[in-house]
Amino acid sequence: MFGRTLAGVYDNAMVYKDITQWLRNRTFLALFFGLLVLSEAVGLVCVSIPAEAGEMGPVAFGILSGVLALFVMTIALMGMTLTYREFHNRTFELYSLSGMSLERTIGGKSISMFAQFLFGFCCIVPFMFFSFLLGGLDFYLIFAVALSIAVAVPPLCLLALCTALHFRFKGFGILLWVGGIVVTILVASYISLFFIITIATRTSMPFGKPLDFFKALLDFDGDAWNGLSVFLLFYGQVCLLLFYLCCNAISPPQDSREHFVKFFAFTLTATALIAFASARLGPETLIVGGVSAFVMSCAIGLCYFYKSIEVPLMFAKRQRERRFFPGKILGVLFMPGAWGTLWTVLLIALAGGAFTGLVVSLKGSLLSDQRAISYALLPCQAPYFLIFPAGFLLNFERYRGKPKALRNAVLLWWVLVGVGLVVVVAALSDAQESNLLGPGQAAASSVCQILAYVVSPISAMAVGMPEYVELGSVLPWFRVVLGGMGVYLAIRSLTKTAARNRMERAKTRSAASS
Amino acid sequence: MLKVDNLTKIFGKTRAVDDLSFELEEGDVCGFIGPNGAGKTTTMRIIATLEEPTDGQVRVGGESIHEEPYRIRRRIGFMPDHYGTYPDMTCRDYLEFYARAYEIEPKARARRIDGIMDFTGLGDIADKKVEELSKGMRQRLNLSRALINDPKLMVMDEPAAGLDPRARVELRYLIRNLAEQGKTVFVSSHILTELSEICDHMLIIDQGRKISFGSVEEIQRGLREGFEIRVRLVDPSQVEGLVRFLVQRPGIQDVRPGENGVLLFSLRDEAERIPALLREAVNEGFSVMEFRPETPTMEDVFMRITGQTNGGNNGNGA
């Protein structure tokens, strides 16, 4: 096992190809000399400028950190454009023809991108430590920043690959997409990193002082190490989720890694809920936890429920050959195709509901009963919001047998109808408060409010159920049951059709062979 | 080596491949002909395990693409019509990359790469960058890549497209050499005369359906409902007389006088009738300089077969 892993890294064809291409590229020389000259120039300028002791150290450090961050972005962008070209002009087909596994392909690409980063890292970081000699800097801060950037690189590289493999860009759109995604991820990961650590360590570590955390780590502080382990747990899962999302993009109809994607999406939600539960409980935690489970269920449902119905050939073969418990069970629960998606969505929704229910029972006094129950039931209603817009849209010919169009339409439905109703309800509520509505219009306002609670998850979350409506306490339960039944019936009908097609094909095949 | 049974592929409402069946033995070179959009590339991609068939079965070396696609990939060399993206790589880097991808032992790699480069004639440009190669050289490199795993079956999609005449001749020579090494070659091309020279089998498809499959001679013979005879007279003024002479004879149709004493006609009869007819014409006093049956070229075969299917379809439609 270890030998195979080592060979996978050492003798990986993709690492060989990407590194060779990079070394033969003129950009490499420009980057190599550019980084060295720039770092040295920054050092020399800072040394030569007459200033108070300790003034120039932070300046040099700031510039060099910026250069390193810029270099990371360059590596991610270069890797992304190369992968994008390779994937979209079918070069990846030639790789898969060689029998190179999906993991080896994506692993090789990630390793080569990280190796390219290490090259720049080794060029710049010595000069960052040199700025320590100029004074005004904490040694730990330099260490912390260098380490933070290094830690951010693997998910960033995987994200770049994921973007290249999942999206199709035109012209300058690529720059906008990449810029937007990179900035969002960097900000989100930076905030979530310290948010998670804060929760896990149960300390009120002020945001913006990561230095204290690193110092505490080096002092072998128990809370800090606990926080680090929670962070690593999340970090590992996020990296694996991105990794398998990349693998899954290559040839999903033949050989997918959809089960890993679903599995890590589930564990990530479960881990997040546990982290929330172990933190100080309160209504905010409850809302954040419930909403994240709800969003994750809907995202998985949208991405996979409205996509593949059939189990890919190679997955089915591997699953038949699996003999032992964890692999076999995980393969069934998170199976590629509609049934696996149903189980995953239900598992996430149930985990979200159970967590919220637990919090409600512990801290129920913080919320009104009805509101607390509606929060607890929120994640469990994900199947309802997934299946009912689709049921309505399937009345139209253009969406039948076109899962991609259906998926986009459901998303559009959520956004357009949801946001539209939120605006209408807000406007009517304002008018009602100012006593500008007649009796008929007041009834219309109530109808809009109920519709908003029923038709789109966005409006349901924004508007909530009006407390004066008699059905208010029953409706969430009703939706949970209705959603579960709807999803079950839809999948049963879809898989029946797929099985019938499969049987017909098998019949002709056996007739042909005989 | 390759057995295709009732292969069908449907994209939306289009039947790209429709109930296609054929079989190739080891060492066969089979040309795959069809008009644009006939389903050639789809069939080849299915054989290469890159597409799943809607129906039917493909077996390579006895193994099914439905059961052992990864094992089959290791047995075939696929040369697609596209080439891929490899900026900043030399020919040797390119082959080294694929040798690693196929997990060829490090010790055997250099030997294998050198052997293939010698075979395909790339030895002198091993250190040239891929993007600087001519179209012909790129096709050779593409062929080298397809050969790196020493495949038993070569699937080549339009390998001669865009090549100059010299490069085409060289490619033909390489394909023949592959067959001599015992490899089965399944090759599609638009350059039909070229295929007839290197192939011992032909598969013609149109609109996804098999029109004809067999040896080149069989296909040409099957097409022939008689003979197309070309006659040249020393004295062009005798042509009219010869026309009158021929139309009175049984089994002769479609007499077409040409220029400079040339005349063409169709003889729907046995081959033994040809020398007898020549004798009769000479005895009648016609000064015959040339009298020979014409062999239809692959272009003729192709045009006639695909023309028939189109006509048939139109007829059905009407």
Mean pLDDT value of segment A179-191 = 60
* Dist CA B52 CA B72 (whole Å): 14
How confident is the model at residue B223, as a pLDDT?
59
Q: Return the axis-axis angle of helices A258-278 and A283-300, rounded to nearest 10°.
A: 180
Tell me which of A94 and A177 has the higher pLDDT: A94
How confident is the model at residue A337, as a pLDDT?
79
Contact residues for A455 (Cβ-Cβ < 8 A; gap 6+)? A389, A413, A417, A418, A421
Domain final position from B203, B222, B241 = B222
- Interior CA angle at B219 toward B214 and B223, to 5°? 150
* Dist CA A137 CA A63 (whole Å): 14
Distances (CA, A) of A494 to A407, A489, B60: 15, 9, 33
A471 DSSP 8-state letter:
G
How confident is the model at residue A111, as a pLDDT?
92
Q: Inter-chain contact A21–B106, Cβ cutoff 8 Å?
A: no
* Dist CA A186 CA A76 (whole Å): 13
Indicate the helix (H) or strand (E) that contains B204.
strand B201-206
Shared domain check, B272 and B143: no
Which pLDDT band holds residue A206 (cuts at 50, 70, 90)?
A: very low
Are B152 and B107 in contact by the 8 Å Cβ rule? The answer is: no
- Chain-wide mean pLDDT for chain A? 77
* Dist CA B61 CA B74 (whole Å): 11
Contact residues for A113 (Cβ-Cβ < 8 A; gap 6+)? A18, A75, A76, A79, A153, A157, A160, A161
Of A24, A95, A509, the CB nearest to B57: A509
How confident is the model at residue A174, as a pLDDT?
61
Choose from A6, A98, A254 for mutation: most chain B CBs within 10 A.
A98
Report yes or no on A369 lying in a domain.
Answer: no
* Dist CA A244 CA A102 (whole Å): 9
Which pLDDT band holds residue A151 (cuts at 50, 70, 90)?
A: confident
Where do the DSSP E strands lie in A6-101? none
Report yes or no on B63 lying in a domain.
Answer: yes
* Dist CA B10 CA B14 (whole Å): 6
Which pLDDT band holds residue A205 (cuts at 50, 70, 90)?
A: very low
Shared domain check, B94 and B12: yes
B100 — contact with chain A (CB < 8 Å)?
Answer: yes
Asked if residue A106 has pLDDT above 80, the reply is yes
3-state class of B55 per DSSP? Answer: strand
Q: Inter-chain contact B145–A21, Cβ cutoff 8 Å?
A: no
Which pLDDT band holds residue A391 (cuts at 50, 70, 90)?
A: confident
Asked if residue A98 has pLDDT above 80, the reply is yes
- In chain B, residues with a C-beta closer than 8 Å to the C-beta of A14 are 101
A399-412 tens-digit pLDDT = 777 777 888 888 88
A219 DSSP 8-state letter:
T
- Interior CA angle at B224 toward B219 and B227, to 5°? 140
B61: left (phi over 0), alpha (psi -120 to 50) or beta: left
Report yes or no on A505 lying in a domain.
Answer: yes
Residue ranges of A 251-270 with Cβ closer than 8 A to chain B: 253-254
Report yes or no on B310 lying in a domain.
Answer: no
Shared domain check, B132 and B37: yes
Report yes or no on A495 lying in a domain.
Answer: yes
Asked if residue A185 has pLDDT above 80, the reply is no
Question: Nearest residue on chain A to B53, judged by CA atoms?
Answer: A505
Are B154 and B184 in contact by the 8 Å Cβ rule? The answer is: yes
Of A91, A254, A314, the CB nearest to B85: A91
B9 φ/ψ angles, rounded to the nearest 5 degrees: -135, 125
A12 — contact with chain B (CB < 8 Å)?
Answer: yes
B151 — contact with chain A (CB < 8 Å)?
Answer: no
Q: Inter-chain contact B101–A99, Cβ cutoff 8 Å?
A: yes
Shared domain check, B124 and B46: yes
Indicate the helix (H) or strand (E) that contains B32.
strand B29-33
Q: Inter-chain contact B97–A254, Cβ cutoff 8 Å?
A: no
Report yes or no on A305 lying in a domain.
Answer: no
- CA B35 from centre of chain: 12
Choose from A10, A94, A250, A321 for mutation: most chain B CBs within 10 A.
A94
Neighbours of A36 (CB within 10 A): 13
Are A312 and A256 in contact by the 8 Å Cβ rule? The answer is: yes
- In chain A, residues with a C-beta closer than 8 Å to the C-beta of B57 are 509, 512-513
Q: Residue A149: what residue type?
A: I
Q: Inter-chain contact A25–B93, Cβ cutoff 8 Å?
A: no
A315 — contact with chain B (CB < 8 Å)?
Answer: no
* Dist CA B117 CA B257 (whole Å): 54
How confident is the model at residue B255, as a pLDDT?
84
Distances (CA, A) of A422 to A393, A445, A452, A453, B80: 21, 11, 7, 10, 53
Asked if residue A189 has pLDDT above 70, the reply is no
CA distance A87 to chain B (A): 9
Here the tokens at position B278 are: 């020549």
Domain final position from B194, B222, B250 = B222
Q: Residue A139: what residue type?
A: F
Contact residues for A80 (Cβ-Cβ < 8 A; gap 6+)? A160, A161, A163, A164, A178
Shared domain check, B247 and B207: no
How confident is the model at residue B296, as a pLDDT?
67
Maximum average pLDDT range among A210-219, A258-267, A358-367, B269-278: A258-267
Domain final position from A188, A221, A251 = A251
How confident is the model at residue A110, as a pLDDT?
92
Shared domain check, B212 and B73: yes
Of B5, B86, B90, the CB nearest to A513: B5
A509 — contact with chain B (CB < 8 Å)?
Answer: yes
Q: Inter-chain contact B89–A513, Cβ cutoff 8 Å?
A: no
Q: Inter-chain contact B100–A13, Cβ cutoff 8 Å?
A: yes
- For the question of an ipTM over 0.90, the answer is no
* Dist CA A78 CA A460 (whole Å): 42
Here the tokens at position A478 are: 């009703």
Spell out the SS3 assignment of A441-465. Answer: HHHHHHHHHHHHHHHCHHHHHHHCC
Q: Inter-chain contact A16–B100, Cβ cutoff 8 Å?
A: yes
How confident is the model at residue B224, as a pLDDT?
58
Shared domain check, B27 and B45: yes
Are A439 and A423 in contact by the 8 Å Cβ rule? The answer is: no
Report yes or no on B304 lying in a domain.
Answer: no
Where do the DSSP E strands lie in A118-166? none
Neighbours of A219 (CB within 10 A): 8
Nearest to A275 by CA among A201, A377, A207: A201
Domain final position from B206, B222, B238 = B222
Mean pLDDT value of segment A74-99 = 86
Nearest to B59 by CA among B40, B46, B41: B46
Nearest to A378 by CA among A468, A499, A254, A293: A293
Q: Which residues of chain B have pLDDT under 70?
A: 85, 191-193, 220-226, 269, 295-301, 303-318
Report yes or no on A313 lying in a domain.
Answer: no
- CA A79 from centre of chain: 20
Report yes or no on B317 lying in a domain.
Answer: no
How confident is the model at residue A243, as a pLDDT?
93
Are B18 and B208 in contact by the 8 Å Cβ rule? The answer is: yes
A334-351 tens-digit pLDDT = 888 777 888 888 888 888
How confident is the model at residue B317, as a pLDDT?
31
Here the tokens at position B294 are: 């014409």
Asked if residue A255 has pLDDT above 70, the reply is yes
Shared domain check, B217 and B260: no
CA contacts within 13 A on the Cβ side of A136: 16
* Dist CA B83 CA A93 (whole Å): 11
Of A314, A317, A512, the CB nearest to B6: A512
Shared domain check, B112 and B23: yes
Sheet holding B184-188, edge to edge: B76-79, B153-157, B184-188, B29-33, B201-206, B209-215
Q: Which CATH number characterizes residue B275's domain?
A: 3.30.70.100
Report yes or no on B138 lying in a domain.
Answer: yes
B96 — contact with chain A (CB < 8 Å)?
Answer: yes
Tell me which of A176 and B2 has the higher pLDDT: B2
CA distance A18 to chain B (A): 10
Report yes or no on A42 lying in a domain.
Answer: yes
Report yes or no on A431 lying in a domain.
Answer: yes
Report yes or no on A55 lying in a domain.
Answer: yes
- For β-strands B55-60 and B63-64, DSSP reports them as antiparallel
Residues paired with B55 in a beta bridge: B8
* Dist CA B228 CA B258 (whole Å): 14
A326 — contact with chain B (CB < 8 Å)?
Answer: no
Which pLDDT band holds residue A204 (cuts at 50, 70, 90)?
A: very low
Q: How many domains does chain A have?
A: 2
Q: How many domains does chain B have?
A: 2
Q: What is the domain extent for residue B269?
A: 225-294
pTM: 0.79
A17-56 tens-digit pLDDT = 988 888 888 777 787 788 778 877 877 777 777 666 666 7
A108-148 tens-digit pLDDT = 999 999 998 988 888 888 888 887 777 777 777 788 788 88
Shared domain check, B244 and B217: no
Sign of CA dihedral A87, A89, A94, A96: positive
Round to the nearest angstrom and report the end-to-end CA distance of chain A: 42
Q: What is the domain extent for residue A65?
A: 1-251
Which pLDDT band holds residue A352 (cuts at 50, 70, 90)?
A: confident
- In chain B, residues with a C-beta closer than 8 Å to the C-beta of A254 are 49, 52, 69
- In chain A, residues with a C-beta closer than 8 Å to the C-beta of B49 are 97, 254
Which pLDDT band holds residue A195 (cuts at 50, 70, 90)?
A: low
- In chain A, residues with a C-beta closer than 8 Å to the C-beta of B22 are none
Shared domain check, B189 and B43: yes
Nearest to A285 by CA among A366, A377, A370: A366
Question: Nearest residue on chain A to B71, judged by CA atoms?
Answer: A99
Report yes or no on B308 lying in a domain.
Answer: no
Shared domain check, B125 and B17: yes
Question: Nearest residue on chain B to A313, judged by CA atoms?
Answer: B66
Q: Which CATH number characterizes residue B150's domain?
A: 3.40.50.300
Question: Nearest residue on chain B to A82, judged by CA atoms?
Answer: B85
* Dist CA A412 CA B259 (whole Å): 72
Domain final position from A203, A233, A251 = A251
* Dist CA B65 CA B53 (whole Å): 9
Asked if residue A468 has pLDDT above 60, the reply is no
CA distance A197 to chain B (A): 41
